[in-house]
Structure 1
Amino acid sequence: MDATRELKEQWAQLSPVVDQLIIMTGTARDAFNRHHRQLVTDLNQQHEDVAQKINAVSDQLEDLLPKKSGSEKSALLQLHSMLSHLSVIGDNLAQLSEPLQKKIQGAVLFSDKAVAQTNYLFDHQAGILRSLVDIVHTDNAYLKKYVVEEGQKLLQACLEFATEHEARLIEGLCLPQAGPIFLAILDRMRTITQHELEIVNILTKKS
């Protein structure tokens, strides 16, 4: 097989992994809004599926790496690093199942503001992940800059939302039971965004 073609085929395997992460994000959002326990179960199953995909691609890369050198080996190492970050993103999406389960089991209500903020985070995470797929296919410099800007906005939003949440608690506008759940979601979102930005950094170096 042609070496360039082989590398392209390895890079192409990123798309279905990211697609699955987008599905997980949507499932977590639906579980948050609809209070369906089955959706939390679905989220964990989707995590198992994406973990299997990542492990399969990682195994292929580990088989190829000893046979490569120079730029080809460097490209495969970058891909391997990206898979590690995607794995962490998948883990953190799956870890949303714990606060979501608490919200559902306890029938914990969020303030309208907290609901809007949480949905904002889910929607923007899905948007960033979709942009990552496009970057893998097009290597578009504008998209890379866009994702960095959106990621930084998301990180800033998480900090602001946490501060606003504390104010709502003091004012009695938010149930105390909702606090740990909301903050756990914010923590996961921050971690996911940090790893998305690391992926963009790798893709920028690839160029």
Structure 2
Amino acid sequence: MFTVAGKDLFTPIFNKLDAMVVAARNAFNRHSRQDLEKLKTLRTEVEAEIANALKFVEEYLAKQPAEREVGHKTQSLLTRLQLIADKLGGLAEPIEKKIRDGILFSDKAVSQTNHLFDHQAGILRSVLDILKTDNAMLKRFVADEAQTLIQNCLDFATEHEERMVEGLCLPHAAPLFLTFLDNMRTAGQHELDIVQILEGKQKG
């Protein structure tokens, strides 16, 4: 397990990120205000968890400056996780508008959004597995999956534009769906960055 001073900083964070995806998906599909509020609460909790982890690393480096390489790598990873949490938490706004205004997505958009939720959850679980095992094949797999997620978001946006032209999508749903795509795409990019940091291809 990737640790700092023997402390596992990452598992609690990933557990909350995974719960955020579940809450967002349930709120989206069920128009559930309860799950929407859970998403908001989890965002606050994971931000606090990451802030505490960053503080722990900073204090550790002050005492053990010779460990700056692992410390700086950990800070880079935590910063990326902070950005992922921001994008997942940012789904609350379009979901809230969807619920409040009773906005319906096309069947295709609903299917694509749920595909992205599934894909995102799988990537997060695999990134945590990388931190536990440092498995090179798993790193390559997650990098490929993150790139696929990013490309899916771009492809879905193009298909959405085509549906709009054909009159198959409601205009009010368009900006909400595009926000979903943008947030998922950006989260996928940060997950790809995490793999590259762990591979030593990116310093953060």
TM bucket (normalised to shorter chain) is over 0.9
- What's the counterpart of residue 155 of structure 2? 160
Q: Give 2:139's aligned amino acid.
A: K
- What's the counterpart of residue 60 of structure 1? 56
- What's the counterpart of residue 205 of structure 1? 200
Counterparts of 2:136 and 2:15 in 1: how far apart (Å)? 21
Structure 2 residue runs of 5 or longer lacking an equivalent are: none
- What's the counterpart of residue 190 of structure 1? 185
- What's the counterpart of residue 119 of structure 2? 124
- What's the counterpart of residue 15 of structure 1? 11
Structure with the higher fraction of residues in helix conformation: 1
Structure 1-normalised TM-score? 0.93
Shift of 1:8: 5.5
Shift of 1:69: 3.6
Instruction: Give matches, 1:32-181, under 5 Å.
Output: 32-70=28-66, 72-181=67-176
- What's the counterpart of residue 30 of structure 1? 26
Counterparts of 1:152 and 1:143 in 2: how far apart (Å)? 14
Q: Give 1:39's aligned amino acid.
A: D
Shift of 1:66: 2.2
Q: Report sequence identity in percent.
A: 49
Cα RMSD, aligned residues only: 1.5
Q: Give 2:142's aligned amino acid.
A: V
Contact 2:43/2:86 (<8 A) preserved: yes
Shift of 1:9: 2.3
Contact 2:3/2:9 (<8 A) preserved: no
1:138-174 CA distance string (max 9 Å, x none): 0001110001101111111111100100111111111
Q: Give 1:29's aligned amino acid.
A: R
Shift of 1:64: 1.1
Q: Residue 16 of structure 1: SS of its match in structure 2?
A: helix
Q: Give 1:34's aligned amino acid.
A: R
Structure 2-normalised TM-score? 0.94
Counterparts of 1:81 and 1:50 in 2: how far apart (Å)? 16
Structure 1 residue runs of 5 or longer lacking an equivalent are: none
Counterparts of 2:156 and 2:75 in 1: how far apart (Å)? 34
Shift of 1:202: 1.2
Counterparts of 2:126 and 2:23 in 1: how far apart (Å)? 19
Shift of 1:77: 0.7
Between the two proteins, the alignment pairs up a number of residues equal to 200
1:75-100 CA distance string (max 9 Å, x none): 01100110011011111111110000
Q: Give 2:12's aligned amino acid.
A: P
Counterparts of 1:47 and 1:66 in 2: how far apart (Å)? 29
